[in-house]
Amino acid sequence: MAMQHDDAQRVASCTRRRRRDRRGARGLGTIEVLVSIAISGVVLLGMTANTIAVSRAQSVSRNAAAATALAQQQLEALRNLPLDAAGVDPGSYVDAGNPMTADGGPNGKFERTWVVSDADTPAMGLKTLTVTVAWTDYEPHQASVSAYVRCSTVPCS
């Protein structure tokens, strides 16, 4: 009889241990699920904000490259004019094709202007050309390039 009593105690002990083990393995509670959803939401918001920032930076970079190319194109055209051409007289100029696209076509977002410095600036017989291309996407931007051109006479007349 004592043997049966020990067996019964052993069985009861195993049953209690199984119940205790099962209680810990029941699954996730409501709080755990809500916390994991909140953490996932924060991570997704961070990734979304990062994606938007990268997209904007890529757009600004693409537009800056196009603006620099448009400015360089105009600068080279001005440098190839004859030394006494009207386009390199001192003053400020606005491109007749404004506003232009990235390839120089009409109806874009780029505005091209240039300034020719006074005669003999920065040195005797030279003038400075500065071409600026401005555009606005999320905020106003501009790109400028400069070069020197010789005057038709030294000193400039």
| pLDDT tens string 81-94 | 887 777 788 889 99
Q: Which amino acid is at 154?
A: V
Q: Shortest CA distance to 94 belongs to which of 42, 136, 133, 45?
A: 133
pTM of the complete model: 0.66
Helices and strands, counts by H and E, the chain: 2, 4
Let me know the angle formed at the C-alpha of 90 by 85 and 95, rounded to the nearest 5 degrees.
75
Q: Shortest CA distance to 70 belongs to which of 114, 130, 113, 133?
A: 133
| pLDDT tens string 115-149 | 988 877 777 888 889 999 999 888 899 999 998 88
Backbone angles phi, psi at 57, to 5 degrees: -60, -40
What's the mean per-residue pLDDT of the chain? Answer: 82
Q: What is the C-alpha to C-alpha distance for residues 63 and 51, in angstroms, rounded to an integer?
A: 18
